[in-house]
Amino acid sequence: MATLNIPLDAVYGVLLIFLRVAGIVFSAPVLDTSSIPATFKAGLALSVSILLLPTLNRTVSLGEVNLIILAMGVISEIGIGVTIGLSVKLLFTGIQLAGQIAGYQMGFAIANVVDPATSSQIPILGQIYNLTAMLLFLSVNAHHMFFSALVESFTIIPPLFIHIGPQLVGMMMKLAANMFVVAIKVGAPLIAVMLITSVSLGLVARTVPQMNIFIVAMPLKIVVGLFFMMITAPYLTTFLINLFASYRVTLFDLIRMMAGTG
């Protein structure tokens, strides 16, 4: 009878890789939605972990590990994966925030929809911006940077090792602040147009007090906003593609900072 002998060191190596991959899968955009079953995410993370096992430069022997080292290893691997996924998630949050700001000014805040990713109510325009960014992210193969960053992370950051220093904390704070910068850049055309439209309607209300400006303002803002969305769509697409392309450098800088070499 054939027997299958699996070394325990290999099982432990797969476990460490699985924790890092699972941290990315459960926190990265596109895959972090609750509409994707958790069992599928776990199975995907396990399959990728088995494929990545030969990429480890150094195998961790169980003889070198005690309970404290094992607990620290589990925390460090999950932390590395969540940090990588969260860094890109902040980018998409900024894009969605731009849609929310513009949606409030257009009057779409009255009609909210339930976001399947967060199960929370967000304005329709924020959902449109978020879905558009995800489709562009996949269409330009920007998700491949996750695969390359994941493979390189095991070369740069060996298992059971993570360096949490002031540079890493500052980098994450910078990415969080950049979320608002991205929101302003993405929503700037619509925000500016809605501001000019509101000022114009205010002047009309002062010069023609007989006009019921509240009845006219809401449909006019929606029409003007949708019109300028169509005009600025090609420029928005180009901006998002360039943003995703440049984010690859930021992601690898973040990984090097977690290794203490950045």
18-34 residue pLDDT tens: 888 888 888 877 777 77
For range 11-16, the mean pLDDT: 74
CA pair distance 132, 125, nearest whole angstrom: 10
117-175 residue pLDDT tens: 556 666 778 888 888 888 888 888 877 777 787 777 777 777 767 677 778 788 888 88
Extents of the domains making up the chain: 8-259
Q: Are 225 and 218 in contact (CB under 8 A)?
A: no
| Per-range mean pLDDT, top range of 11-15, 113-117, 202-206 | 202-206
Q: Are 41 and 26 in contact (CB under 8 A)?
A: yes
CA pair distance 201, 221, nearest whole angstrom: 10
Distance between alpha carbon 196 and the CA centroid of its chain, in Å? Answer: 32
Q: Are 39 and 33 in contact (CB under 8 A)?
A: no
Q: Is the model's pTM score more than 0.85?
A: no
Beta bridge partners of 122: 113
Cα three-residue angle 51-262-243, rounded to 5 degrees: 75
CA pair distance 20, 13, nearest whole angstrom: 11
